[in-house]
Amino acid sequence: QAQLVQSGAEVKKPGASVKVSCKASGYTFTAYFMHWVRQAPGQGLEWIGVINPSGGSTTYAQNLRGRVTMTRDTSTSTVYMELSSLRSEDTAVYYCARALTPTAWFDPWGQGTLVIVSS
């Protein structure tokens, strides 16, 4: 069955960048899109963007455009989400989630990666 395993927790200083990975297994990597969603402490879910692992095309949420970059490595079935110019408000758990199309439901989700931004 499909499984998504994410990289470990990160602590970063304001202004730095963070790169989170999401390794897929149990399915054809290039046949599904990969979304990123984040959840600030005690808050709801926020969509970050989506990448097509087949061609590498991306769509980002308007409020993060310019600071977020999603890439993929088809040789290792891994997608990456890099967020730059980090601020304290970026402290959150970041999830990857698979979808058949950009507008289809998310299933499954990765276990989440905690990113803490603190001086």
Residue 59 CA, distance from chain mean position: 12
Q: Is 27 in the site for other proteins (CB under 8 A)?
A: no
Which residue among 61, 68, 114, 116 contacts other proteins (CB under 8 A)? Answer: 61
Question: Count of CB atoms within 10 A of residue 76's CB?
Answer: 11
Q: Is 107 in the site for other proteins (CB under 8 A)?
A: yes
Return the SS3 of 96.
Answer: strand
Q: Is 41 in the site for other proteins (CB under 8 A)?
A: no
* Residues in a beta bridge with 96: 36
Q: Is 68 in the site for other proteins (CB under 8 A)?
A: no
Spatial distance between the Cα atoms of 66 and 74, rounded to a whole number of angstroms = 24
Q: In whole angstroms, how close is the CB of 70 to other proteins at the nearest point?
A: 13
Q: What is the contact surface with other proteins in residues (CB under 8 A)?
A: 35, 37, 44-47, 49, 59, 61-62, 95, 97, 102-112
